[in-house]
Chain A
Amino acid sequence: MSVPLAVTPEPDMVQLLTPEGVRVEHPDYSLDISDDEIKSLYRDLVLTRRIDTEAIALQRQGELGLWASCLGQEGAQVGAGRALRHQDMSFPTYREHGVAWCQGVDPLTLLGLFRGTNLGGWDPGENNFNLYTIVIGAQTLHAAGYAMGVVRDGAVGTGDPNRDTAVLAFFGDGASSQGDVNESFVWAAADNLPIVYFCQNNQWAISAPVTTQSRVPIFHRASGFGFPGVRIDGNDVLASLAVTRKALDAARNGLGPTLIEAFTYRMNPHTTSDDPTRYRVGSEAETWKLKDPIERVRAYLAREAGVQHEFFDALEQESEQLAEHVRAGCRALPDPEPLSVFDHVHVELTDELREQRDAYAAYLDSFEEATA
């Protein structure tokens, strides 16, 4: 039996820079931005891609156990990341390397999780960038809870641009099916929380196309929960910046949540362990290549803004240096000490865990004595 699908025609999405590199206006999302600022966005895009490329190479060389590539999603991520103010808090999935970069996180910080030297291990407060979350969608509830704290701290709608705080929660098209994400929407709506949901719809949840998750465009889900949703060209960094900035402003001003669906494409396998040839055709990626988030900015800068080759050359140099930093830094990440497995299980170590640790230490020492 075939089920009649109530498929809505693909809606318009907010776009401020075409794949050909032409700036276009949008009635609701004007973006007052200088060419210098666009150059700086371009720098973030290029360096994010370089981090990603190096990480894949490091995985191929056996230096990382796994890597989740963000290739093709740099525009969505850099636009969203650059829309954050210093007091805002972000809750990533495990693929937001571009957001991490924009928040000032050293890319080496991200590598421990994928190299297996730690489980993340960074201080979320240092760059207002929380730990990567691998259980799909769980972080959206943490974001809602954090936003509840922001409200209780009186840091919403005061009019003070350095005090009013918003929360940016990332998730993907697959996560949109998770209970946690939907519960987070319920919480955000019920309490009018200062939160922006940023869904990168990259069309694939490993091997499952987005049609497995939803009969309607994902941003339409927001209306059922009672807050606005908007779809953007997820490969357009300017659209991502403008729409996220406006949504974050609304959140900080006490106007509640927004769902942004960044319509993009996962150009690479889900992770380095995945084989997409089993479930999608290569021509799909070829089509999306024409919408590359970086090429369009380069085209704009070179053709429309008259940016000279010196800028691109210098950036290439910087990119090389960053790559070397990632390569050398990755190899230098120390393996953890055996007994460190017992660290930070609890704030207050229990007697029984101390006993286990001491017994294991004695066991390890017994080998040293034997070889001495």
Chain B
Amino acid sequence: MSPITMAKALNDGLRKSLEDDPKVIIMGEDVGKLGGVFRVTDGLQKDFGEARVFDTPLAESGIIGTAVGLAIRGYRPVCEIQFDGFVYPGFDQIVSQVAKMHNRSNGFLKMPITIRIPFGGGIGAVEHHSESPEAYFAHTAGLKVVSCSNPSDAYWMIQQSISSDDPVIFFEPKRRYWAKGEVAEDPPPLHHARVVRPGRDVTVVAYGPMVTTALEAAGVDDAPDIEVIDLRSISPIDTATVVASVERTGRLVIVHEAAVSHGVGAELAARVQEKAFYSLEAPVLRVGGFDTPYPASRLEEEWLPNVDRILDAVDRTLEY
């Protein structure tokens, strides 16, 4: 199989889900004729019809709220939120309704809803188009939160998310939409982390767009021998895979685009110190965005973690 882009892999995965289950529907802004602003749903309306792939009115709470009703009626909605920074009008429906409905109904209702959100920066966009809001959702009981980093995971994880009976917030690293890769034959389970590059000196954990950056850092000449883990699932977190790695390396650096404070890295750091305290040779370090609003795009290369900032953290943890 020849390499395909992540956008195409997602498109293929969505197509497969639509083929496999007549209850799967795709809804959102501009997902129909246009095929989505990133063309992830390209051609799906043409092939599956306007009842199954359709443009909604322009209101995010409405997209999520009607998905709840469709789920109650027995459908399996896949909602596209056009950009990360536009999810907040739908926030109430996600955290108060989607996340809690199974619990509030004592298990009688299920919310098999997948909410796709292109996220992260690095594409020179205007404001509200480059954010990383995953921690809000990871902090909400009842939701599962994942992020793919490569075309193979994109293809498989979107299908696994759609077939999950739990609601899944599916973060797509928009700056990697055009990166190519081969799709594997057999996918790992949805909520498993994966060691993507073995190493002995330091463990670097990343997810979504930062996996590529972490791998680039590990590939730099003279860099220490870095083990890179793609977390893949942000909630639940596959803590065991990370702990097993830290028990070998003794050092951990966590990388994400989101601001460091109160972020996913903080949670993972807490877990690792709890479960691998005696294996740690140095404090866990985090590399992420600053605790500022996402900056104007001419500044984003300063704001976003990059190879040098990752290697700087790696060096500091080795010097400790």
Contact = CB atoms under 8 A, between A and B. Distances in A.
A145 B70 CA distance: 5
A284 interface: no
Contacts of B56: 187
Interface in B60-111: 61-62, 64-75, 89, 92-93, 96-97, 100-110
A114 interface: no
A118 interface: yes
Given A131-B105, A180-B61, A148 B110 contact: no
Given A124-B109, A138-B96, A345-B141, A187 B73 contact: no
Given A138-B93, A145-B65, A150-B73, A345 B59 contact: no
A149 B61 contact: no
Contacts of A1: none
B62 A141 contact: yes
A352 B237 contact: yes
B191 interface: yes
B164 interface: yes
Interface residues of A, number: 45
A187 B67 CA distance: 12
Contacts, number: 145
B67 A346 contact: no
A141 B100 CA distance: 16
B75 A149 contact: yes
A337 to B, nearest CB: 13
A180 B65 contact: yes
Contacts of A123: 105-106, 108
Interface in A301-332: none
Contact of A120 (B57, B61, B105, B240): B105
Interface residues of B, number: 46
A351 B193 CA distance: 13
A190 B240 CA distance: 49
A183 interface: yes
Contact of A153 (B73, B103, B166, B240): B73
Given A135-B92, A352-B236, A184 B74 contact: no
Nearest to B237: A352
Contacts of A143: 69
Interface string A66-96: 0000000000000000000000010100000
A153 B109 CA distance: 19
A118 B103 CA distance: 10
Contact of B65 (A119, A138, A149): A138
Contacts of B237: 352
A186 interface: yes
Given A124-B108, A144-B66, A186-B62, A149 B97 contact: no
A144 B66 CA distance: 6
> Which 3 residue pairs are nearest across A and B when measured between Cβ atoms?
A145-B69, A141-B65, A149-B73
Interface of A: 89, 91, 118-125, 130-131, 135, 138, 140-153, 179-180, 183-184, 186-187, 190, 343-348, 350-353
Interface of B: 25, 51, 56-57, 59, 61-62, 64-75, 89, 92-93, 96-97, 100-110, 141-142, 144, 164-166, 191, 236-237, 239-240
